[in-house]
Structure formats: structure tokens, C-alpha cells
């Protein structure tokens, strides 16, 4: 039986690239899809019809995560890897405190970026417990690093990633003694749609980043008993 992974936010960008990378290595991939009208994931499925299963998923919704987890459980008895990739940026990142902050939007960012991964871990944990890999990967960001922060705004996104890092630390404390292995990744500034439209000014292609991240995820010789946030070049970041 081929190893199996569930990837959130697989519609496009890094999630799509991570899916393609694992599929090319022979993995079975359950791809969380939020945007049903986005064509790239379906095109990827046409290339790997026996390996790629598209699963409707909104990580901001308890009901959606519950339905997705149940659906995956009808397709497989176990999972080896979960990559919590789904996330959003904030449309107005640079508003200073004096000009009034968009709190409703910040709560949406927090719900997706911080609580979303917890929902997915909770929903899929029974399948992950049965898998041989027991790997949990979380796509974080240097924006959540308290030790390195020099920003004066960007409240919603940075706070959401800092909260995610704390959630991952708590999960590590609880699940590492039970055999789970963890990866916390800062992918860098990519040409993706994090802000709603494609960021062509960014430094990195998601396919290149995905290759480096997958290599780190599957390397069982490093960071098996500790939690470290690393970028795609293997550099550790304070968080």
C-alpha cells in the first residue's frame, strides 16, 4: 500500500505544489479543496486519477471539517501525513493602530490560520493514529516569530501565525510521546495567492519550495524529537 497524505488548501499555490510533489513520488493524496471552481486541482487529478482524491473542505467551519474527516474515513483506514497548509493573508496588512483596525477581518484570519489546523488535526487524528508515518506538518511564517518581529502593524496575520505556533507546541507536547513527528515550516515569500491575487513580485516559486519542504518532512534523520521552525533552506527561526 502506498503512503497517504492529507493536504489542506490544495487548490493552488503551495498546497497544489505539495500535492503534485507527493503524487509524483507515488503517494496517495487527499486534497482539501475550498474553491470548487478553481481548475488546477482537477487538472492534477486527471493526471493521477488513482492517487488523488479531492475532498471539499473549509477549515474555518467545524461542520465542513467533520464532513471531510468522515469522507476520508470511508476511503482509507489510515493516514501517514497531514500537511496543514490552508491559510489566508490580510487584505490591509499595514494599517497603523491610529487609523482603526479591521477586527472582523482579523478574526477571520485567526479562525482560518490558527483554529483551522486544530480542527483538521482533531478530525483526522483517528486515521493518523493508525498510520505508520504519524507525521504532522504545519505551514507557519516568520511573521509569527515574536523574537524576530520588527513590524509595527500586520496584526492579524502575524498574530494568527504566532497563535498557530503555540497550538503546534501544545500538540507536540501531547502527541510526540505517542509516536507523532512534527514539522513547522516557514516557506518564504512565494508567488502565490495568499493576499487574494497572485503575488508575481515574490522571490520563490511554490514548486521549488514544495520540493524542499517535502524533503524536510520525509527526512527521518533530523528534528524527530524536537520542534523547530525551519525555512526551505533548513535554517531554524526563533518563534
Give the contacts of 26 (CB within 8 A, at least 6 positions apart).
2, 3, 51
Phi, psi of 4, rounded to the nearest 5 degrees: -130, 145
161 is catalytic: yes
198 is catalytic: no
Residue 89 CA from chain centroid, whole number? 13
**Residue 129 and residue 180 in contact, taking contact as beta carbons nearer than 8 Å:** no
Cell of 16: 497544489
Q: Give the DSSP H or E segment for 28.
A: strand 28-33
Tell me the CA end-to-end span of the chain in Å, nearest whole number.
37
Which one from 34, 110, 134, 157 is the annotated catalytic residue? 157
Which one from 110, 134, 161, 193 is the annotated catalytic residue? 161
How big is the chain, counted in residues? Answer: 239
Phi-psi region of 42 (alpha: psi -120 to 50; beta: other; left: phi over 0): alpha
Active site residues: 157, 161
Amino acid at each position: 500500500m502506498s503512503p497517504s497524505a492529507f493536504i489542506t488548501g490544495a487548490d493552488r499555490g503551495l498546497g497544489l505544489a505539495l500535492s503534485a510533489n507527493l503524487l509524483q513520488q507515488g503517494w496517495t493524496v487527499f486534497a482539501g479543496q475550498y474553491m470548487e471552481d478553481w481548475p488546477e486541482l482537477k487538472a492534477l487529478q486527471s493526471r493521477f486519477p488513482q492517487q488523488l482524491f479531492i475532498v471539499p473542505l473549509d477549515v474555518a467551519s467545524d461542520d465542513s471539517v467533520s464532513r471531510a474527516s468522515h469522507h476520508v474515513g470511508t476511503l482509507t483506514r489510515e493516514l501517514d501525513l497531514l500537511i496543514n497548509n490552508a491559510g489566508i493573508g490580510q487584505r490591509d496588512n499595514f494599517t497603523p493602530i491610529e487609523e482603526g483596525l479591521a477586527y472582523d477581518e482579523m478574526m477571520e484570519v485567526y479562525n482560518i490560520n490558527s483554529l483551522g489546523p486544530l480542527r483538521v488535526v482533531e478530525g483526522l487524528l483517528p486515521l493518523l493514529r493508525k498510520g505508520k508515518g504519524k507525521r504532522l506538518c504545519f505551514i507557519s511564517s516568520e511573521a509569527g516569530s515574536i523574537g524576530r518581529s520588527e513590524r509595527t502593524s500586520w496584526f492579524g496575520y502575524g498574530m494568527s501565525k504566532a497563535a498557530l505556533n503555540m497550538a503546534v507546541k501544545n500538540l507536540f507536547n501531547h502527541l510526540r510521546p505517542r509516536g507523532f513527528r512534527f514539522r513547522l515550516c516557514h516557506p518564504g515569500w512565494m508567488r502565490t495567492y495568499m493576499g487574494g491575487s497572485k503575488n508575481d513580485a515574490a522571490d520563490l516559486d511554490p514548486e521549488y519550495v514544495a520540493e524542499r519542504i517535502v524533503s524536510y518532512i520525509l527526512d527521518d534523520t533530523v528534528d524527530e524529537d524536537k520542534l523547530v521552525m525551519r525555512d526551505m533552506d533548513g535554517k531554524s527561526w526563533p518563534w
